[in-house]
Amino acid sequence: MPQRGDGGSLLPPSDKPVRSNILTDTEWRRIGAGLRLTYRELQVALCVFNDQSEAKIAGTLGISEHTVHAHLRAIYS
């Protein structure tokens, strides 16, 4: 699979679903690929899209709030 310069994959694996009530998994994967997001960055973006706070995202994904914030910085850049 192609890699970004930082080692993250360009597109989430198709066997890992991305959940949203508005867009399909395929649509989210296209968005992620177009924005060159890693799978985890795409998960964080989806949580933001679903109006979750950084604390809620951290709990949902099992990561620290600091890590969520780092992913958000990467997404926004």
If we measure between CA atoms, which residue out of 7, 37, 10, 30 comes closest to residue 48? 37
CB-CB contact of 16 with 32 (8 Å): no
Does pTM top 0.75 for this prediction?
no
Q: What is the pLDDT along the chain (77 residues), one digit of tens a residue?
A: 333 444 444 344 555 555 666 788 888 889 899 999 998 999 999 889 888 999 999 998 999 999 999 999 999 98
* Strand ranges in the chain using DSSP code E only, listed in sequence order: none
Computed on alpha carbons and rounded to an integer, the radius of gyration of the chain in Å comes to: 12
> 58 and 45 in contact (C-beta within 8 Å)?
no
Structure token pair of residue 12: 């989430």
Residues 13 and 53: their CA atoms lie apart, in Å, by 25
